[in-house]
Amino acid sequence: MSRIVLGVAGGIAAYKSCLLLRLFAESGHNVSVVPTRNALNFVGPATWEALSGKPVSENVWARSWEVPHVGLGRSAELIVVAPATADLLARAACGRADDLLTNVLLTASCPIVMAASMHSEMWLNPATQHNVELLRGRGIVVMDPAVGRLTGPDSGPGRMPDPEDIAALALSALGVPSVAAALAARDYAGLKVLISAGGTHEAIDPVRFLGNASSGKMGLALARAARQRGAEVKLVGANLSLPAPAGVELAPVVSTADLAKEMLGSAPGADVVVMAAAPADFTPVAPSAGKVKKTGDAGLTLELRQTVDVLAALAAQADAGQVVVGFAAETASDSGELLALGRAKLARKGCRLLVLNDVSGGQVFGADENSVLIIAAGNTVEPVAAQGSKDQVAHAILDQALARRAG
Ligand code: CTP
């Protein structure tokens, strides 16, 4: 359980932060809410107190014997400001300390994440952009606003990112200063990243298919992490049940053949290509145009053929500047066998990096946590172990891909 301060500035999106608070609390964290005075015009103290189970104040004079402006900031392990309005960003950039929230920001030494939310004109104004640059330069993670419908009839950049996206990003930085630093520095700015996610469906007839247990969560985490580090991201999603992260271009596909076409067509020009999807290895030779009917007690025999190996095809067409990353789901009795299987697969596929997953017992599918070994072609680098939430593992994979590019 970690101590999180949820700062709420005075924007209409404050109501969405109630959900953010619940997400943090339900993940077992101890959350203190610090709204600004203007935020209380949108959501009153009773709501924040009931949801957090703690007293809430916006000024430094309440419960002054507890010296809250110092205590809260010093003890926080993560601070998330959502929504972060133009005014809050400006006050934070100037180092003002004119209410409890700005005091807390000045006394904190933990990762700070701000989810920008305001009207498009305010976001695009050079004053705001300069403030954001200043804050990022100081290691503060500022999430760009999402694009979409705003409070009035207009739409554009300015919506607060979804609470699920804010929570996933913020929690990935919790206790991992390198993630907070990469997010603040936006070290993928100017790079194009192509990612596949999900499990393919191979049609047997119009209502039945052969599928697999992939949830797509790892690929979604990679897309979210790359986007938040500044990349232009395209996600090729096979039958995803979760939405694509904000700012990510989604190309939905169904079968391995669709996935191959989309990935191979989109890869030229991408700097990093990640095959996190689980494409079916076999597909029915002759899917039936009509629904297959039962005939008496007879069973059904399906003839299958192998599908194209998308990762191997991507690796074969990649130029020297492109880093192709594959995944390997293996069942192994120990880490030595896992590594040997991984090395053999890395050589067979011809990709630059391989993320090794031990799936003995099916412990990865659908889970929010993951533990992997990242190995590189040519045996030149020691395997890198990464574990934690799928978002944290995604950052470790992106770190390795970026290092290979630089190398
Ligand atoms: N993959 C692919 N095309 C396929 C099957 C798999 O591109 N038709 C990719 C996956 O996205 C993953 C990697 O290959 O990045 C390894 O997947 P895995 O299922 O572990 O390996 P397979 O190629 O299926 O090899 P095997 O069944 O022999 O373990």
Residue-wise pLDDT for 201-257, tens only, equals 999 999 999 999 899 999 999 999 999 999 999 999 999 999 998 889 999 999 999
Q: How far is the CA of 278 from the centre of ligand 1 (A)?
A: 7
d(CA 401, CA 276) in angstroms, rounded, equals 14
CA atoms within 13 A on the CB side of 277: 33
Set 212, 239, 357, 370: catalytic member: 212
pLDDT at 343: 95
d(CA 285, CA 403) in angstroms, rounded, equals 42
Q: How far is the CA of 393 from the centre of ligand 1 (A)?
A: 19
pLDDT at 60: 79
The answer to whether residue 362 scores a pLDDT higher than 70 is no
Mean of per-residue pLDDT scores for the chain: 93
Type of residue numbered 41: N
The answer to whether residue 363 scores a pLDDT higher than 60 is no
Pairing mode, strands 209-210 and 353-358: unpaired
Q: How far is the CA of 62 from the centre of ligand 1 (A)?
A: 59
Q: Is the CB of 238 under 6 A from ligand 1?
A: no
Question: Rounded to whole angstroms, what are the CA distances from 190 to 202, 230, 276?
Answer: 36, 7, 22
> 212 catalytic, yes or no?
yes
Residue 407's pLDDT band (cuts 50, 70, 90):
low
pLDDT at 361: 66
Q: Tell which residue, 151, 189, 188, has the closest CA to residue 42.
A: 151
d(CA 30, CA 76) in angstroms, rounded, equals 10
The answer to whether residue 364 scores a pLDDT higher than 70 is no
pLDDT at 127: 98
Q: Is the CB of 324 under 6 A from ligand 1?
A: no
Q: What percent of the chain has pLDDT over 70?
A: 98
| CATH 3.40.50.1950 intervals, the chain | 3-185
Q: Are 259 and 253 in contact (CB under 8 A)?
A: yes
Q: Tell which residue, 314, 342, 322, 317, has the closest CA to residue 402.
A: 322
Q: Is the CB of 281 under 6 A from ligand 1?
A: yes
Write down the architecture of domain 3-185 according to CATH: 3-Layer(aba) Sandwich (3.40)
Q: Are 9 and 87 in contact (CB under 8 A)?
A: yes
| CATH 3.40.50.10300 intervals, the chain | 192-406
Residue 117's pLDDT band (cuts 50, 70, 90):
very high
Q: Which long-range contacts (CB under 8 A, 24 or more apart) does 46-50 make?
A: 47/18, 48/8, 48/18, 48/21
pLDDT at 233: 98
d(CA 51, CA 53) in angstroms, rounded, equals 6
Q: How far is the CA of 262 from the centre of ligand 1 (A)?
A: 17
| Cβ atoms within 10 Å, residue 382 | 9
**Region 7-17 average pLDDT:** 97
Ligand 1 atom 4 nearest Cα:
309
Assigned CATH class of 192-406: alpha beta
The answer to whether residue 78 scores a pLDDT higher than 70 is yes
pLDDT at 69: 74
Q: Is the CB of 275 under 6 A from ligand 1?
A: yes
Q: Which of 218, 253, 310 to mutate to test the pocket of ligand 1 (most atoms within 8 A of CB)?
A: 310
Please state the atom number of ligand 1 nearest to the C-alpha of residue 329. 20
**Could you identify the residue written with the tokens 């610090």?**
34
Residue 58's pLDDT band (cuts 50, 70, 90):
confident
**Could you identify the residue written with the tokens 């095809």?**
313
Q: Is the CB of 260 under 6 A from ligand 1?
A: no
Q: Cα 264 to chain center, whole Å?
A: 23
The answer to whether residue 333 scores a pLDDT higher than 60 is yes
Enumerate the β-bridge partners of residue 197.
237
Ligand 1 atom 12 nearest Cα:
327
The answer to whether residue 7 scores a pLDDT higher than 70 is yes
Enumerate the β-bridge partners of residue 370.
388
Helices first, then strands: H and E counts in the chain: 14, 19
Residue-wise pLDDT for 141-153, tens only, equals 999 999 887 777 7
Tokens found for residue 41:
């015009």
Q: Tell which residue, 290, 280, 234, has the closest CA to residue 257.
A: 280
Question: Rounded to whole angstroms, what are the CA distances from 169 to 141, 145, 239?
Answer: 10, 14, 23
Residue 377's pLDDT band (cuts 50, 70, 90):
very high
Q: Which of 255, 256, 327, 348 to mutate to test the pocket of ligand 1 (most atoms within 8 A of CB)?
A: 327
Compute the Cα dihedral for 34, 150, 244, 191 and give only its sign.
negative
